[in-house]
Chain A
Amino acid sequence: MSVAVEFRNVTKEFGPVRVLHGVGFALQPGRVYGLLGENGAGKSTLMKILAGYESPTTGEVVVDGAVRAPGGGSRAAEAQGIVLIHQEFNLADDLTIAQNIFLGHEIKKGFFLPPGRPKAESGPLGGQGATRSARPWGSWFLDDKAMREKTREALAQVGLPLDPDTRVRKLIVAEKQLVEIARALARNARLLIMDEPTATLTPGETERLFALMAGLKAAGVTIIYISHKLDEVERTTDEVVVMRDGLLVAREPTASVTRRQMANLMVGRELADLFPPKLPAPQDGAPAIKVRGLTVPGWAEDIGFEVRRGEILGFAGLVGAGRTELFEGLLGLRPRSAGTVELAGKPVQLKSPRDAARHGLTYLSEDRKGKGLHVHFGLRPNLTLMALERYAKPWLNPVAEQAALRGAVQEFGIRTGSLDVRASSLSGGNQQKLALAKVLHPGPSVVVLDEPTRGVDVGAKREIYHLVQRLAEQGLAVVVISSELMELIGLCHRVAVMRAGRLQTTLQEPNLTEEELIAHATGTR
């Protein structure tokens, strides 16, 4: 049950811009491929073509020796067993797991027919062919029992012991991910494309995913694994395929390249040190922010910390440890039941992000599209939104705003063809730089950066690290929340570790190591 895929000279143009310049390579069945490339390298577009969401401008996709006919869409690709698992999940929150897994491919039965019988040609988990074409006359009614049964099988296969009738809304992110994979399996996936599957998983969950991937590989499923986390690519893949600027630049057995070589291939140049050299932590001076006994019911309990001007404090912890929620509580976005906050030595009452911004504290959300940027807006209104009073006296001054945008584009290295595009047209890394520019635009003295490099390629990561360093140098107090331990170790003076809503410890050199962080985050110490 495997599938052989070959790209033949595939190009793709969006209007006048060519994002794929003739990509050709073949994938052997039953292997795990790591697909690497910076944001904008064309890997997502290529995968969308493979999964049927886009069709190539020229060139062809060959599946099992046959050229795929254009215009079939993702349904045709799914029929060939090719399924793309999106970075943002495509699950309907209010439906149950079973309803989601069979959404658009429901098993039906006739009123007069015995239930569960009329499935003529379904695969081991109920393929979609039967429900569409060869359905007997009168199959109008949903066969919930059969779907529940198949769902249970698929869930068992991915190791998720949940009731098929559970609503997806109740699942945590990692479980949703597994449901997505179960859905792919329920459609007889033979080639699975996973886009940044571990971005929101805890180390434990990541391990389970890797075990599942190994199982799928053993069962003959081909996996294309897209990730910016090179250590994961190194661990899980057989071969790496590197793309750059719409071209295939390298294809090597994973064992033969180092992580550093992978990174260099992606950026196309020798990658200078990812992290800037650490500046000594400021020893004296009053804390710019001092938090005592902060409790956000259900998420964080009795948390205290302080950050000096020029200091970078990291927050480590597993997903669900309460880091984001702690800071949302601090900003008044969640109710808090106890705690005091002092900014620059003065006690403050923060009831909303507006209060916080007024007192010189701003927050970059981890959820760029949902909470960070107005992706449908242009760059200018995004940049100035948090400091709009500055441009409204009382009439907004678009010329001054535009000048500010030009400055920010320079300062933050936002790469865009024109200043008058929507934020959504920027690549992930450049959107993130815009989001950073936005939260810094009011000129805060304390800035909280939640996952500042999530979904960002290596080149942009490096720029962001240097930027964070620069902020500290300019005398800001910086808090970095991150799930990437290397990032915290490479960037921060001290790292606070949270577990299950409590502050476990605060590590600093020489104890600031990956092992120590994991031990405290998982509670094995």
Chain B
Amino acid sequence: MPQVPAENAPTAAAAAAPTAPAVPGEGRHGGATAWWGKLHGLGPVIGLVLLCIAGTLLNSNFATYDNVMNVLTRTAFIGIIAVGMCFVIISGGIDLSVGSMAALIAGSVILFMNAMAPVLGSPMAAVVVGMLLAVVLGAVFGLVHGLLITKGRIEPFIVTLGTLGIFRAYLTYFSNGGAITLENDLSDIYSPVYYANLLGVPIPVWIFLLVALVGGVILNRTAYGRYVQAIGSNEQVAQYAAVDVHKIKILTYMLLGVCVGIATLLYVPRLGSASPTTGLLWELEAIAAVIVGGTVLKGGAGSITGTVVGAILLSVISNILNLTSIISVYLNAAVQGFVIIAVAFMQRGKR
């Protein structure tokens, strides 16, 4: 219940010092409801724990180190995008284009690397500059979204529905309907970004962790993060309170674009190619991760921890379906769908 994100709770509770006598009508917001609120926040975590217990019981391979790392690596793309999406949704917006954006960035980056390797004379330099390009492209696309939404005063749903089509169409055009493939020598240099381990943990998992940590700090410990929540909770109040609403909103879309760029630069070395099916339905998975994590679609409040847990929870479901034969793998999306609806059901009336 408290709008203060879970991460802040300990400090807030520690500083609680009643300075005035209670007035009637006060207590119903303290005590019992605060306890419920905490339980609410733990919902996704409890769900994940239960799923993991079920997974362990159903298949002895589930709880192995390799499988855990496998799940986390697969979660990384959606998880990183979901962290950015969390900001957009908390600010009261939405971005439907992230899957198409990832595909277009992937395609552009591969074309760029292929073209630049001979020019720069060093495949390594081409890969590094290409990776930078991924992030810059994401930021630029985000900037365009933000400008159209704020200065252009178009609903975010409409803007990003439009770019969803535009991005994917351009990728299809660039790839002539087929695949854009990274040249072999570049692929060899680039592949460690996805396949290498650091201290036994795959690189994408490290990056995911880093993005989530940075996201959490930005959301909870910076003025920008507070403004994002303030805008999502009530845009007018924020505007009257001297918050630069347009700037903050544009920044959230740019932040999401950067996250998409990072996710894409991790994704490209995995297959070394981009095709019209790259990143298909990622937007739904990212939004689902945010919502499952306890963020309200209306905006105003949410948490990065919840989002990360939500993203992991969704990929654990598909992992369990892959490992066991109780439910067909073909029903993966259906099971995830049921989970999303069930979670939303439990979160009713949270506001």
Contacts and interface: CB of A to CB of B under 8 A. Distances in A.
Interface in A375-434: 375-378, 380-381, 385-386, 388-389, 391-392, 394-396, 398-399, 402, 406, 409-410, 414-422, 425, 427, 430
A420 B2 contact: yes
A362 B240 CA distance: 9
Contact of A420 (B13, B22, B236, B238): B13
Nearest to B29: A425
B11 interface: yes
Contacts of B241: 353, 385-386, 438
B242 interface: yes
B334 interface: no
A112 interface: no
Contacts of B79: none
A79 interface: no
A372 interface: yes
A59 B19 CA distance: 34
Contacts of A422: 2-3, 29
B15 A381 contact: no
Contact of A418 (B30, B217, B236): B30
Interface in B242-285: 242-244
Nearest to B12: A420
Contacts of B27: 14-17, 417
A373 interface: yes
Contact of B233 (A15, A374, A416, A442): A374
A410 B351 CA distance: 29
B20 A417 contact: yes
A491 to B, nearest CB: 23
B239 interface: yes
Contacts of B21: 415, 417
A371 B17 CA distance: 29
A279 to B, nearest CB: 29
Interface stretch (B159-167, B222-230, B306-314, B317-325): B222-230
B16 interface: yes
Contact of A363 (B223, B225, B226, B240): B240
B121 interface: no
Contact of A376 (B3, B8, B227, B240): B3
A343 to B, nearest CB: 15
A320 interface: no
Nearest to B27: A17
Contacts of A357: 242
A103 to B, nearest CB: 23
A57 to B, nearest CB: 12
B31 interface: yes
Given A388-B223, A422-B2, A365 B240 contact: yes
Contact of A371 (B4, B225, B240, B301): B240
Contacts of B222: 392, 394-396
A233 B32 CA distance: 40
A487 interface: no
A245 interface: yes
A277 interface: no
Nearest to B217: A395
Contact of B351 (A19, A363, A376, A389): A376
Contacts of A378: 2-4, 12
B25 A40 contact: yes
A354 B32 contact: no
Contacts of B220: 396
A15 B239 contact: no
Contact of B19 (A246, A394, A410): A410
B26 A421 contact: yes
A353 B240 contact: yes
Contact of B18 (A354, A356, A418): A418
B44 to A, nearest CB: 21
A525 B27 CA distance: 53
A18 interface: yes
Interface in A335-368: 352-354, 356-358, 362-363, 365
Given A353-B241, A422-B3, A425-B26, A409 B19 contact: yes
A30 to B, nearest CB: 33
A363 B237 CA distance: 12
A395 B221 contact: yes
Nearest to A14: B28
A406 B242 CA distance: 23
A494 B96 CA distance: 55
A386 B20 CA distance: 25
B199 interface: no
Contacts of A377: 3, 229-230, 233
A322 interface: no
A370 interface: yes
A398 B15 contact: yes
Contacts of A415: 20-21, 23
A409 B25 contact: no
Contacts of A388: 223, 226-227
B24 A19 contact: yes
A42 interface: yes
Nearest to A16: B27
A162 interface: no
A374 B19 contact: no
Contacts of B3: 376-378, 381, 422
B300 interface: yes
B161 to A, nearest CB: 23
A171 interface: no
Given A417-B20, A425-B29, A353 B242 contact: yes
B237 A372 contact: yes
Nearest to A13: B28
A28 B194 CA distance: 80
Nearest to A410: B19
A160 interface: no
B235 to A, nearest CB: 10
Contacts of B16: 418-420
B23 A427 contact: yes
A354 B17 contact: no
Interface in A418-465: 418-422, 425, 427, 430, 438, 442
B176 interface: no
B24 A42 contact: yes
Contacts of B15: 398-399, 402, 419
A385 B226 contact: yes
Interface of B: 2-4, 8, 11-13, 15-33, 217, 220-223, 225-227, 229-230, 233-234, 236-244, 300-301, 351
25 contacts: A15-B33, A16-B31, A17-B22, A17-B27, A17-B28, A333-B239, A352-B239, A356-B242, A358-B242, A362-B242, A370-B236, A371-B239, A374-B230, A374-B233, A376-B3, A376-B233, A376-B351, A377-B3, A385-B226, A385-B230, A391-B223, A409-B20, A418-B26, A422-B3, A425-B28
Given A378-B12, A398-B11, A419-B18, 4 more contacts: A14-B28, A373-B237, A417-B30, A418-B26
Ranked nearest first, the 8 interchain pairs of A and B with the lowest CB-CB distance are: A417-B22, A15-B28, A357-B242, A392-B223, A14-B28, A417-B26, A402-B15, A17-B27
Interface of A: 14-19, 40, 42, 245-246, 333, 352-354, 356-358, 362-363, 365, 370-378, 380-381, 385-386, 388-389, 391-392, 394-396, 398-399, 402, 406, 409-410, 414-422, 425, 427, 430, 438, 442
